[in-house]
């Protein structure tokens, strides 16, 4: 599985998936089946237009380059964040975010970057939150955490059950030997 395949799957889900679909990608079996179908579609495009691609190889190279090269280069956080903020901040997608999440792409990225920055030096976040973000209300911050966080146990014996209930594939509670 490559990063560009996950990005393509995410894009297809955002654009085409119904709000309450009948397919749950929480299981590895269903997730891999869906990803393989997407790969089959991609391969089918190459087969269907083989004559065109043979005659105009740059069309296929252009398609592959835009799909893969971005992921294969040295990625910079600022360019990644800017790219996705522009994509999700486009009026059509931003209105979907506002309908489904209750806030705009700008608010989502502002809160997400602030939280990411916090976790660079801290391992926990205390509630209620006391930080202020320009252009973000406390209600939006609370809504963000309500949507993207799940209270877990601090008891190591029950943490594995919490991770399993969150449908994180291959989650493990063991500490690698080189990290001890």
The model's pLDDT over 107-136, given as tens digits with 9 standing for 90+, comes to 888 888 888 888 888 877 777 666 677 788
pLDDT score, position 64: 80
What's the pLDDT score for residue 179? Answer: 40
In whole angstroms, what is the distance from residue 86 CA to residue 82 CA? 6
Q: Which of 37-41, 137-141, 150-154 has the highest mean pLDDT?
A: 37-41
**pTM higher than 0.85:** no
Give the chain's domain count: 2
User: Does 43 reside within a domain?
Assistant: yes
Domain that holds residue 50: 1-16+24-73
Tell me what percent of the residues of the chain surpass a pLDDT of 90: 1
Question: What pLDDT score was predicted for residue 67?
Answer: 77
The reply to whether omega before 128 is within 30° of 0 (cis) is: yes
Give CA–CA dist 90/84, Å, rounded. 10
Q: Are 144 and 108 in contact (CB under 8 A)?
A: yes
- Residue indicated by tokens 């579609």: 41
Question: Within this chain, do residues 32 and 54 fall inside the same structural domain, yes or no?
Answer: yes
Copy the structure tokens of residue 177: 């030997």
| Pair 138, 93 in one domain | yes
Q: 107 with 140: CB under 8 angstroms?
A: yes
Query: Do 80 and 64 belong together in one domain?
Result: no
What count of residues does the chain have?
A: 180
Q: Which of 11-15, 90-94, 175-179 has the lowest mean pLDDT?
A: 175-179
176 — pLDDT class (breaks 50, 70, 90): very low
In this structure, the answer to whether residues 107 and 148 fall within a common structural domain is: yes
Q: Are 31 and 67 contained in the same domain?
A: yes
Same domain, 61 and 104: no
């Amino acid at each position: 599985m490559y990063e560009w395949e996950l990005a393509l799957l995410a894009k297809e889900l955002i654009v085409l998936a119904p709000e309450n679909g009948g397919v749950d990608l929480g299981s590895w079996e269903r997730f891999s089946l869906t990803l393989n179908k997407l790969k089959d579609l991609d391969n089918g495009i190459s087969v269907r237009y083989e004559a065109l691609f043979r005659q105009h190889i740059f069309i296929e190279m252009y398609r592959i380059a835009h799909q893969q090269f971005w992921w294969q280069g040295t990625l910079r956080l600022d360019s990644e964040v800017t790219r996705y903020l522009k994509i999700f901040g486009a009026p059509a997608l931003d209105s979907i975010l506002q309908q489904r999440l209750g806030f705009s792409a700008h608010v989502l990225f502002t809160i997400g970057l602030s939280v990411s920055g916090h976790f660079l030096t801290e391992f926990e976040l205390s509630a209620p939150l006391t930080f202020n973000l320009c252009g973000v209300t406390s209600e939006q911050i609370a809504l963000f955490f309500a949507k993207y966080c799940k209270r877990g146990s601090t008891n190591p014996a029950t943490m594995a059950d919490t991770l399993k209930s969150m449908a994180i594939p291959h989650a493990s509670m063991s500490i690698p030997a080189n990290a001890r």
